[in-house]
Structure 1
Amino acid sequence: MRIKLKKVAIHSLGCKVNSYEAESMEIMLRDEGYEIVPFSEDVQADIYIINTCSVTNIADRKSRQMLHKAKKMNPEAVVVAAGCYVQADPDGVKKDECVDIILGNNMKISIVEALNDYFGGADKTSYLVDINDKYQEYESLKINQTGEHTRAYIKIQDGCNQFCSYCIIPYVRGRVRSRKPEDIVNEVKTLAATGVKEVVLTGIHISSYGTDLENISLIELIEAIHEIEGIKRIRLGSLEPRIITEEFAKRIAGLEKICPHFHLSLQSGCDKTLKAMNRKYNTEEYYEGCVKLREVFENPAITTDVIVGFPGETEEDFLETRKFLEKVHFYEMHIFKYSRRKGTVADKMKEQVADTVKSERSAVLLALEKAQSLEYRKMYIGKRLEVLIEELTEIDGRSYYTGYTKNYIRVAIAADEFKDNPVNDIYECMADKLICDGVTILARCN
């Protein structure tokens, strides 16, 4: 019988879904009497939980590094490997002497049971399921509080059925599984009662929400959340471009709490490359979605992801992508150099692009992104903005309260303008000028 240890440090890698799941595990452990401590070399924990990521080979390596770092911080500690890297390489994790407990996806809800088994004398404990079994149900994780007082990420679904040729996620997250709408609504009500003003709907592929349930879709879920008292803003995670139909656009435009900030994942502005990526749309369909949003919202913030250097991408293909990005004119773009991922179709493709070429193309698009983003923010100088204040911070030696507009522009207001703590309240202010290299608007309330 091992002595049950109490101090737990949790470190989450990767996406907001992982962050949500880490928060849920933290709440379960706290309810069982565990003390949650920071993941820091300054604080020694008895148990370390690493919620891993496996979106790229680099993410796998970072996950292994964090597992080894945890054991190094306290060689006597229990180290738990959880999440996507565990699903991607279960045999490798089982052989890793730094890991004491293995917790796959759809099994994080078993964290307390896993620790009880371990402290009861079990050997290296492994909790894994066949994540690709089509009969897997949604893992009923939940939160009743959040580390971010003003904004809460709400996981509404898991899994993906898209199978893009570069992506490992469907293999480590499994098929689409939607959370019951009543569970989501009840969680949002609980969080609203704690003072949360903004919720962000997140998942692995939220556009698929409800496809495995009866009589519910993403737009209907959004409309149900919109009715919850106390919630002032609803922000959406990454959307599949094809979901932006005329009906969808009109219905969300009729909801005043919706933030006009839409992340439509593109990946390439070249139809040939999109086909090789196994994306389910072409550039014309994507552009039509952007037009529909701009017809029903005034200057919505449209953001995206772009991969450069995908196998077979020629210079002409890249120039076609650049031209398309200029046509759409995004608020922000996340530019990624293609990274080979073992286990994917793209990893086996011939015509892999040289790293130097990827870097050159990335630099071109990053410069375009900076220019477009600056231009978008400049449109708001001299206008009145509504800002949800999030935190007190220091800029150039002076104290400011910072927060975000509904279209996700960062705003800073001098701290001495407020008599009381304004965090978690919405203020109207006047935008004066851009600061912080153009990524923040300096504003005043008077």
Structure 2
Amino acid sequence: MKKVALHNLGCKVNSYETESMRHMLEQNGYEIVPFAEGADIYIINTCTVTNIADRKSRQMLHKAKKMNPDAIVVAAGCYVQASKEDLKADECIDIIIGNNRKKDLIAVLREYEDNHDKSEAWVDIDAESEYENLEIENTADHVRAYIKVQDGCNQFCSYCIIPYTRGRVRSRKAEDVVAEVHSLAVRGYKEVVLTGIHLSSYGVDHGEGENLLTLIQAVHEVEGIERIRLGSLEPRIVTEEFAKALSSLRKMCPHFHLSLQSGCDATLKRMNRRYDSAEYYEKCQVLRKYFENPAITTDVIVGFPGETDEEFQTTRNFLEKIDFYETHVFKYSVRKGTRAAAMENQVDDRIKTERSSILLEMTKRNSRRYREAFLGRDLEILVEETVEINGKKYQSGHTKEYVKAAFSGEEDCMNQIVKGKATGFLLEDMLLLEK
């Protein structure tokens, strides 16, 4: 029995695909082991979203060969798609597998084991129109399962390489999604997160009548699933019809990640985003109309090429106006092959760091204020783990809004929904519940 170690880099879609590869390997008689010395095969699911991600991918591939020079090292995913020729020339790498070909993992491995010639499974992703149907049966998180329902992106934001490495929008069949969710529910999972490269585009390649809303409604009917979350959304999907329909679904979590990137219209235009700040603000108000105090989170890039002090201040003021639960702040990182990499007026790293610090301090205050709004209220958490704080055991989990909370007790309540009143803070980011 060959021992296989897997390592994932990048997004939740990558995580899902890594879990699927693990499942394929187990089904075909391979033994899964930790990513450490002693494995016969190392598989790294790579990321290429930034130049730094490229470097980390290379480092992990070389680390694998160093841990066992006789092992088979497999590079898979986005970095492969972007830099195939470089990886083919790298003596540390034995097999390369691009996107939309991870389903071929077992066949490629066996071919290599037979002839020991450098192998590849790679396609021109721009020409692909078929969704690569992967599946999982369980995940490392035994409570919450991320389900990939869509791949590819048609947006071509000026800073982003992903449309070139993931191809055009391809959606999974709704019946396949529902079948997988049902399978996970039978195994005890109570929460699913629907995710994709550009989730809001789900169904556009399937014709009329199938979209993200109809998919959510179908998943909502699966018995045993108690909570449904969504991955990152584009603002334009949030219409009155969409928000009203979601608010009528009992299992829907009022937790929405709406991608922003900048609160300045001039910067948004250079980024090639498809909305302005006024439209974004309107979408947040629609969500707050149909959900009571929803958790709205976002991403923001600071130091995008040409971002002046005035443009940054406009973004800062806009973030204060929206009052997000959490803001994920990223310093702009040059990605070779994108339009933004060639733009003039690149911002100095020192300025990026200063701007990032300002926004991180803001989000810390806003997050605390959002959590404080739950004090004195009855809440429900889905218990995910037992934690020890100051020598005392607590059962910890998240509310539907994805606010972390815990209650004391020795009893193992793993994967159960437990009610309690929020009476204070146990940690900076964790509410204390009294049952």
Give runs of aligned pairs for residues 270-285 of structure 1, distance below 5 A.
Answer: 270-285=264-279
Partner of 2:161: 168
Give runs of aligned pairs for residues 287-436 of structure 1, distance below 5 A.
Answer: 287-416=281-410, 418=411, 421-436=412-427
- Amino acid in structure 2 at the alignment position of 1:70: A
The reply to whether residue 78 of structure 1 matches residue 72 of structure 2 is: yes
Partner of 1:40: 36
Partner of 2:253: 259
Q: Distance in 1 between matches of 2:394 and 2:46?
A: 34
- Amino acid in structure 2 at the alignment position of 1:355: D
The reply to whether residue 204 of structure 1 matches residue 214 of structure 2 is: no
Which of 421, 430, 434 is residue 440 of structure 1 equivalent to? 430
Q: CA deviation digits over 1:377-434, x for unaligned, max 9?
A: 0011111110000011222332221100000001121133x3xx20000000111112
Q: CA deviation at 1:181?
A: 0.5
Partner of 2:183: 190
- Amino acid in structure 1 at the alignment position of 2:77: G
Q: Distance in 1 between matches of 2:391 and 2:45?
A: 36
Q: CA deviation at 1:244?
A: 0.3
Which of 234, 237, 245 is residue 228 of structure 2 equivalent to? 234
Which of 149, 171, 196 is residue 178 of structure 1 equivalent to? 171
Q: Distance in 1 between matches of 2:140 and 2:429?
A: 25
Show structure 2 runs of 5+ residues with no match. Answer: none
Percent same amino acid among aligned pairs?
62
**SS of the counterpart of 1:157?**
strand
Partner of 1:20: 16
Q: CA deviation at 1:40?
A: 2.7
Q: CA deviation digits over 1:350-378, x for unaligned, max 9?
A: 00000111111111100100000000000
- Amino acid in structure 1 at the alignment position of 2:205: D
**SS of the counterpart of 1:120?**
helix
**SS of the counterpart of 2:125?**
coil
Q: Distance in 1 between matches of 2:379 and 2:18?
A: 34
- Amino acid in structure 2 at the alignment position of 1:236: L
Q: Distance in 1 between matches of 2:185 and 2:404?
A: 23
**SS of the counterpart of 1:132?**
helix
Q: CA deviation digits over 1:286-314, x for unaligned, max 9?
A: 00000000000000000000000000000
Which of 3, 12, 30 is residue 7 of structure 1 equivalent to? 3
Give runs of aligned pairs for residues 44-123 of structure 1, distance below 5 A.
Answer: 44-123=38-117
> What is the count of residue pairs matched by the alignment?
434
Q: CA deviation at 1:122?
A: 4.2
Q: CA deviation digits over 1:249-275, x for unaligned, max 9?
A: 100001010000000000000000000
- Amino acid in structure 1 at the alignment position of 2:10: G
Q: Distance in 2 between matches of 1:68 and 1:444?
A: 50
**SS of the counterpart of 1:342?**
coil
Q: Distance in 2 between matches of 1:131 and 1:94?
A: 18
Q: Distance in 1 between matches of 2:139 and 2:321?
A: 39
**SS of the counterpart of 1:211?**
coil
Q: CA deviation digits over 1:207-230, x for unaligned, max 9?
A: 000000032000000000000100
Show structure 1 runs of 5+ residues with no match. Answer: none
- Amino acid in structure 1 at the alignment position of 2:286: K
Partner of 1:154: 147
**SS of the counterpart of 2:384?**
strand
TM-score by length of 1: 0.96
- Amino acid in structure 1 at the alignment position of 2:434: R
Computed over aligned residues only, the root mean square deviation of the Cα atoms, in angstroms, reads 0.9
Which of 214, 233, 240 is residue 220 of structure 1 equivalent to? 214
Q: Distance in 2 between matches of 1:118 and 1:6?
A: 14
Q: Distance in 2 between matches of 1:136 and 1:343?
A: 23
